[in-house]
């Protein structure tokens, strides 16, 4: 029989231990903060881009920088995991030479895997993960990402994106889990938990950065960095829930958004950053700017720094190096002056730095020397590729299956694969793959293209032929046509016309003319206008941007698994219906939100 008195005594003792352990941590942060000079505090608030540090990496030590990032096309010249690990180690070594030896948080846009490495596993983009409706696989995907990051010494992922994409024309639609706030909040929490693990102090955990606060998916016309013109009730109902749940789940960093809310830029929005996020929602982590985000505020650079920091920004992401406008040296110099002149109060600086140091403490960076937590052999491992393949399988949405043409038989005598996208890893992975806008080239990374996956799926007696333009398919038992969007990312991905390209249409037309069973696999970062092509294919599969493991697509095509994916976006019939979202009145889309067939 349980001794309740003894149990209560044990519980009280445990609470006492936990409280005692937590208190010294806060005291250690305060003690460290009290020992810092103003210049060291401002240094902690500064995140310099790695490209800006070229030839000046000693500035990490000179200015006691708090963070370094990679992004926007400033990756390493050599992009293997070995070189990434070497670069991170060198930077942490420079941080260790500062007076207080405070390690760096090393940030990277690991948005669908550790996607800046040639040998890493590229996961499906968020639009596909949203279609899985499976929080467990999303968490597993993020866990793999964190492990591969930490193998190279990276400890901060600029993910998850909890934008609620409400206009398909937006070039970042694929970074969103979907158009419904409930789906986004569920998947965003799963992704955050996968990155951060059970504890941030675990060496294989990565700090998550929930983004982009707030309303980035709701801009008028789907314009990137545009104006979200909604009342506060709508902002809270659609765009805020993902942050509320993420904070409850342990979010410790949040990225401010480029967009405006009713004409006011978020990077200078005190009400939303301080009153709502830090006050009402009790977010105790730190807010980081987006890439040069403060530069879009009115006035001089000095005015922009004062406005953003006073509004609640804690760390500034600064892409430019010395000799260029608005660089990290200018930021440090001007912010120091602003504090000395009383324009930015010291209390605001102390609050920002306390938040940053607290998170670094929680990450274990102030208690141990940072470095690769696991061996480089984990990067791109079979186990990790297995997780990615499973995610692809679950993300596939079957939109049409006339006369049950799918699943295909592995004993077919001849299968033709058509379309240039079938053997192009850059199209299969999309943006944020090696380069910011995506890397052009059929073999940009390791993995399996859909063409090669088809070749591996069929039996020994089958013949697989490949035609980029669709010719030569007259005698095929079935034709798999793979078409899709060229890679793109923010700024350059906005489109006014979402119709499939003329070149891709021509391939489908050529194959359709043969009369052979035609399966169209669509690779895209959003719903594409295809209404007039629906009669020209027997089966239509939305494979989104599946990443490096094309075998996950063919697992569904050949019936190893049945499709289970459901649309995370309403699919419009024509551009006249754009934007269209679940719950809109009087809509008649081509496919409704949540649609998806199975076998």
Residues 337 and 486 in one domain: no
Between 460 and 279, the more confident residue is 279
Asked if pLDDT for residue 420 goes beyond 90, the answer is yes
Examine residue 81 and state whether it is found in any structural domain, yes or no.
yes
State which of 377, 405, 434 marks the end of a domain. Answer: 377
Same domain (yes/no): 272, 316: yes
> Does 503 reside within a domain?
yes
End-to-end CA distance of the chain: 54
276: nearest Cα among 218, 213, 358, 331: 213
Residue 370, token pair as written in the block: 């940072």
DSSP character at residue 546? -
Closest CA to 114 of 105, 123, 106, 127: 123
For residue 554, what pLDDT is reported? 98
In 3-state terms, the chain is what percent helix, strand and coil (to 5)? 40, 15, 45
Q: What is the DSSP string of 476-492?
A: -SEEEEEEEPPP--TTT
On average, the pLDDT of the chain sits at 94
Q: Quick check: is 16 in a domain?
A: no
| Residue 454 to residue 172: CA distance in whole angstroms | 30
Structurally, the chain folds into a number of domains equal to 2
Q: Looking at residues 309-335, what average pLDDT do you find? A: 96
Global pTM value: 0.95
Say which CATH number the domain at 162 has: 3.20.20.300
pLDDT, residue 472, reads 96
Region label for 120, one of left (φ > 0), alpha (ψ between -120 and 50) or beta (otherwise): beta
Question: Which residue, among 581, 590, 469, has the nearest Cα to 530 in the 3D structure?
Answer: 590
144 and 243 assigned to the same domain: yes
CATH code: domain of residue 561: 3.40.50.1700
Where does the pLDDT of residue 76 fall: very low under 50, low under 70, confident under 90, or very high at 90 and above?
confident
What residues are labeled active site? Answer: 290, 490
Note whether residue 588 is domain-resident. no
* Residue 23: per-residue pLDDT: 56
Question: Is the confidence at residue 9, as pLDDT, over 50?
Answer: no
Residue 71: what pLDDT? 80
Q: What is the per-residue pLDDT across 574-592, written as a single tens digit (0 to 9) for each?
A: 999 999 999 999 999 999 9
Give the pLDDT score at 24.
Answer: 77
In percent, how much of the chain has pLDDT > 90?
90
In a domain? residue 596: no
In this prediction, residue 532 carries a pLDDT of 86
Q: Which residues touch 18 (CB under 8 Å, ≥6 apart)?
A: none
The answer, yes or no, to whether residue 515 has pLDDT greater than 60, is yes
Greater confidence (372 vs 352) lies with 352
Query: Is the pLDDT at 13 greater than 50, yes or no?
Result: no
User: Does residue 18 carry a pLDDT above 60?
Assistant: no
Alpha carbon distance 81, 368 (integer Å): 22
Q: Are residues 164 and 267 in the same domain?
A: yes
Whether residue 1 is contained in a domain is answered as no
Tokens read off for 118: 């040639």
Quote the pLDDT of residue 355: 98
Residue 31: other Cβ atoms inside 10 A: 10
Task: Answer whether residue 484 shows pLDDT above 80.
Answer: yes
Whether 489 and 355 map to the same domain: the answer is no
* Band of pLDDT at residue 15, cut at 50, 70 and 90: very low
Rounded to whole angstroms, the Cα distance separating 549 from 121 reads 8
Residue 72 or 47, more confident: 47
- 301 in the same domain as 225: yes
**Pair type for strands 397-401 and 539-542:** antiparallel
- The mean pLDDT of 1-30, rounded to a whole number, is 50
In a shared domain, residues 424 and 334: no
Arithmetic mean of pLDDT, 209-214: 98
Query: How far, in Å, CA of 508 to CA of 497, rounded?
Result: 19
Does residue 54 sit in the same domain as residue 149? yes
Judge whether 320 lies within some domain. yes
In a domain, 387, yes or no: no
Residue 454, pLDDT score:
98
Residue 70: its H or E element = strand 67-70
Q: Are residues 76 and 147 in the same domain?
A: yes
Query: pLDDT band at residue 11, thresholds of 50, 70 and 90?
Result: very low
Residue-wise pLDDT for 544-562, tens only, equals: 999 999 999 999 999 999 9
Q: Are 389 and 143 in contact (CB under 8 A)?
A: no
* 282 and 411 together in one domain: no
Residue 163's closest CA among 276, 269, 258, 71? 258
Q: What is the pLDDT of residue 73?
A: 76
Q: At residue 6, does pLDDT exceed 50?
A: no
Task: Report the Cα 505 to chain-centroid distance in Å.
Answer: 30
Q: What is the enclosing helix (H) or strand (E) of 107?
A: strand 105-108
Which whole-number Å values give the CA distances from 207 to 29, 55, 72, 198, 386, in the listed order?
18, 28, 20, 12, 24
DSSP 6-42: HHHHHHHHHHHHHHHHHHHHHHHHHHHHHT--HHHHH
Is the Cβ–Cβ distance between 162 and 243 less than 8 Å? yes
* Shared domain check, 334 and 481: no
Q: Give the domain extent around 429.
A: 396-577
Same domain as 161, residue 68: yes
3 has pLDDT over 60: no
Confidence grade of residue 290 (pLDDT, cut at 50, 70, 90): very high
| Mean of pLDDT values over 74-84 | 86
**DSSP labels, 395-415:** H-EEEEEGGG--SPPTT-SEE
């Amino acid at each position: 029989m349980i001794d309740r008195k003894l149990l209560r005594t044990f519980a009280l003792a445990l609470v006492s231990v936990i409280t005692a352990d937590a208190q010294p941590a806060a005291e250690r942060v305060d003690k460290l903060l009290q020992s810092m000079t103003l210049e060291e505090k401002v240094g902690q608030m500064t995140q310099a881009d790695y490209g800006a540090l070229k030839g000046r990496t000693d500035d990490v030590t000179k200015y006691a920088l708090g963070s370094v990032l990679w992004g926007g096309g400033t990756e390493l010249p050599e992009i293997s995991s070995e070189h990434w690990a070497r670069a991170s180690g060198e930077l942490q070594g420079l941080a260790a030479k500062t007076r207080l030896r405070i390690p760096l948080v090393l940030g990277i846009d690991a948005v669908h895997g550790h996607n800046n490495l040639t040998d890493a596993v590229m996961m499906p983009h968020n639009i596909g993960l949203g279609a899985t409706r499976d929080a467990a696989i999303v968490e597993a995907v993020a866990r793999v990402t964190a492990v591969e990051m930490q193998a190279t010494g990276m400890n901060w992922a600029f993910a998850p994106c909890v934008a609620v994409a409400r206009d398909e024309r937006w070039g970042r639609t694929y970074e969103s889990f979907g158009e419904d706030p409930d789906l986004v909040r569920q998947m965003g929490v799963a992704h955050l938990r996968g990155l951060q693990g059970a504890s941030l102090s675990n060496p294989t955990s990565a700090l998550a950065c929930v983004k982009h606060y707030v309303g980035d998916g709701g801009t008028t016309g789907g314009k990137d960095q545009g104006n979200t013109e909604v009342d506060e009730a709508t902002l809270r109902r659609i765009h805020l829930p993902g942050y509320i749940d993420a904070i409850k789940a342990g979010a410790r960093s949040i990225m401010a958004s480029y967009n405006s809310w009713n004409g006011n830029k978020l990077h200078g929005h005190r009400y939303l950053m301080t009153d709502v996020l830090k006050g009402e929602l009790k977010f105790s982590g730190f807010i980081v700017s987006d890439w040069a985000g403060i530069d879009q505020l009115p006035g001089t650079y000095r005015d922009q720094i004062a406005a953003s920091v006073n509004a609640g920004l804690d760390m500034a992401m600064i892409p430019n190096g010395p000799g260029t406008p608005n660089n990290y040296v200018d930021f440090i110099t001007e912010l120091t002056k602003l504090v000395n002149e009383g324009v930015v109060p010291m209390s605001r600086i102390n609050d920002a730095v306390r938040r940053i140091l607290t998170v670094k403490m929680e990450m274990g960076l102030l208690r141990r020397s940072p470095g690769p937590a696991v061996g480089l052999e984990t990067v791109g491992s079979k186990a990790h590729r297995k997780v990615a393949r499973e995610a692809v399988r679950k993300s596939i949405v079957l939109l049409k299956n006339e006369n049950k043409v799918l699943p295909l038989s592995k004993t077919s005598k001849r299968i033709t694969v058509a379309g240039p996208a079938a053997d192009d890893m850059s199209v299969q992975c999309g943006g944020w793959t090696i380069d910011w806008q995506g890397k052009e080239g059929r073999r940009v990374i390791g993995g399996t293209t859909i063409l090669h996956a088809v070749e591996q799926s069929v039996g020994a007696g089958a013949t697989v032929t490949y035609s980029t333009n669709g010719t030569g398919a007259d005698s095929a038992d079935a034709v798999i046509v793979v078409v899709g969007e060229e890679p793109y990312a923010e700024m350059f991905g906005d489109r006014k016309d979402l119709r499939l390209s003329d070149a891709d249409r021509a391939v489908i037309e050529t194959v359709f003319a043969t009369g052979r069973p035609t399966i169209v696999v669509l690779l895209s970062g959003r719903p594409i206008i295809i209404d007039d092509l629906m009669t020209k294919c027997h089966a239509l599969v939305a494979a989104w941007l599946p990443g490096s493991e094309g075998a996950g697509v063919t697992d569904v095509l050949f019936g190893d698994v049945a499709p289970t994916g459901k649309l995370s976006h309403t699919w419009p019939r024509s551009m006249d219906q754009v934007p269209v979202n679940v719950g809109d009145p009087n809509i008649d889309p081509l496919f409704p939100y949540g649609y998806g067939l199975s076998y």
